[in-house]
Amino acid sequence: MGLRQENTGKCCESCKFLSRPIPVQDWDGTGKDFPYAYRNGTGQEWIASGQDGTGMECILNTKSTANTENVVKNVAISLLNRGEVGPNTSIQKVSGDYQSVLLDKIIELDEHLVTLLPDLKPDVIFVEHYRPIPAIELSGIPCVLMSIVNPLLKRSDTRLPPYLSGLLLTGGPAKWDAFRAVKSAQQSEGWRRIDDYMVSRGCQPMSDSPFTYNDKYLTPYGYPFELDFPPGVAQLPTNVIRLDHFMRAPEGIGYEIPVPLRDMPGKLVYFSLGSMGAIDVVNMKRLVAIMAKSMHRFIVSMGPSHDEYVLPVNMWGQEFVPQIRVLPLVDLVITHGGYNSTIETFCFGKPMIVMPLFADQYDNAQRVQESGLGLRLDPYRCSEHELLSAIDTLLNDKPLNEKLMKISQRIQTDNSLAKLPQIIADYVENYVH
């Protein structure tokens, strides 16, 4: 999430936290154990801080890459088989009662934390998990919920489109209400079971917004105000803090344009539907065939099925591309609209075509289009003319490109992420259970 790279030293000095080893056995199937991490079943990591030292490890990467490719591909195939990746609409994809499945993960995590927290005695808990965990709710320990999703999640307001819908801000309440009704009907039983578990553990019943944590949790979220929802539409709770981003610092030296593209004419475009979206090889082939007719050059993140299709001469790609190092070089980004990809593209001042596939990608795509800072296309239904026209339109829009570069400069100058350590320190110091 970028905290470690941006703020190493500041946290150690002002917050005085210490991460202690939390052994995780056979984390990724390689037979190795890893300290400082707990996997909750969905690949998320928890970093807890102890109170008997003076160093804080805000973000710690302990994931082994030995088995990463298989894990990513298996998850992607699962999403494809369930229809989460595919031509279904956002309202069709929200119809599954996945909350019932999540209850098992909540219980698993809760049981671990019940024994873990008393041993660690942390001063603060950092978490990226949007469902309430009784052990945390009952601990009385300050908690920082890192909101790494579209800000609609924290705006449970009927004056705004529902989270995960991708509906227009100006589209009117009829479609919003229809989406909410389907979502509620499909997921109410799952939420009831989660609520029953919370109450059985001694917690208060969940609020009308089941995604929302205790209002005492500090909730920073990263979303540039130029892309965020207008502040006059719906106010944020006082515990929710907006920053421009949580973007990680680039690793290693700069990136060079691949040799096959270096001397070719045309602008440089980066194309990525993420590891999950790229699993649909049939659709990847369709889109690549369209872009083969463009006069421009393309760097392609081919995804876990990279060996199942071939790129045309105006493209170069590989399974995984170091996106954050590539973005400064390109003139346009075609993306699935995942949170990181959207924010990183925006921070580097690049125009984008967003092709959402699932979850809050729909909401990110709609914000990009409604803000006039890019275009939204359907990755399964866009025509050859629509895609090629969108590419040329954004590449040739000089006023838009100048505006985006000014926004990028503003983000770098403000450096809002650097303020986070002090915000966290103040929160912990003034926390009242």
Helix, strand or coil for residue 8?
A: coil
User: Which CATH number covers residue 306?
Assistant: 3.40.50.2000
DSSP letter, residue 31: S
**Side chain identity at residue 370, one-letter code:** E
User: Is 130 inside a domain boundary?
Assistant: yes
Contact (Cβ atoms closer than 8 angstroms) between residue 131 and residue 102: yes
pTM exceeds cut of 0.75 = yes
Q: Do 298 and 424 have their domain in common? A: no
User: Is 225 inside a domain boundary?
Assistant: yes
Q: Do 301 and 353 have their domain in common? A: yes
What ranges make up the beta strands (E) of 90-225?
125-127, 143-145, 219-222
Q: Do 44 and 193 have their domain in common? A: yes
Q: Do 201 and 293 have their domain in common? A: no
- Read off the pLDDT band of 56 (50, 70, 90): very low
Q: Do 173 and 268 have their domain in common? A: no
Looking at residue 37, what is its pLDDT?
Answer: 35
Q: Do 155 and 56 have their domain in common? A: yes
Output the CA torsion sign for 221, 225, 228, 231: positive
User: Is 146 inside a domain boundary?
Assistant: yes
> Residue range 354-359: average pLDDT?
96
Looking at residue 215, what is its pLDDT?
Answer: 77
- Residue 306 pLDDT greater than 90, yes or no: yes
Q: Do 9 and 115 have their domain in common? A: yes
**Number of folded domains that form the chain:** 2
Q: Tokens for 429?
A: 């110091």
User: Is 84 inside a domain boundary?
Assistant: no
Closest CA to 243 of 227, 259, 221, 265: 221
> Residue range 243-257: average pLDDT?
83
**Side chain identity at residue 346, one-letter code:** F
Q: Do 8 and 41 have their domain in common? A: yes
Q: Do 56 and 152 have their domain in common? A: yes
Which position has the token pair 């790129």?
A: 311
Q: Do 264 and 238 have their domain in common? A: no
User: Is 88 inside a domain boundary?
Assistant: no
Could you give the percent of the chain with pLDDT greater than 90?
58
Domain membership of residue 364 as a residue range: 259-396
Cα separation values, 334 from 296, 379, 382, Å: 13, 10, 13
Q: Do 27 and 153 have their domain in common? A: yes
User: Is 254 inside a domain boundary?
Assistant: no
- Residue 399 pLDDT greater than 90, yes or no: yes
User: Is 361 inside a domain boundary?
Assistant: yes
- Residue 16 pLDDT greater than 90, yes or no: no
User: Per this entry, what is the length of the chain?
Assistant: 433
User: Is 91 inside a domain boundary?
Assistant: no
User: Which CATH number covers residue 182?
Assistant: 3.40.50
> Residue range 71-89: average pLDDT?
90
Please state which of the ranges 6-15, 124-133, 150-159, 392-401 shows the lowest mean pLDDT: 6-15
Rounded CA separation 274/344 (Å): 13
Looking at residue 3, what is its pLDDT?
Answer: 36
Looking at residue 394, what is its pLDDT?
Answer: 98
Rounded CA separation 35/19 (Å): 10
Looking at residue 96, what is its pLDDT?
Answer: 64
* Other Cβ atoms closer than 10 A to 231: 10
Q: Do 235 and 274 have their domain in common? A: no
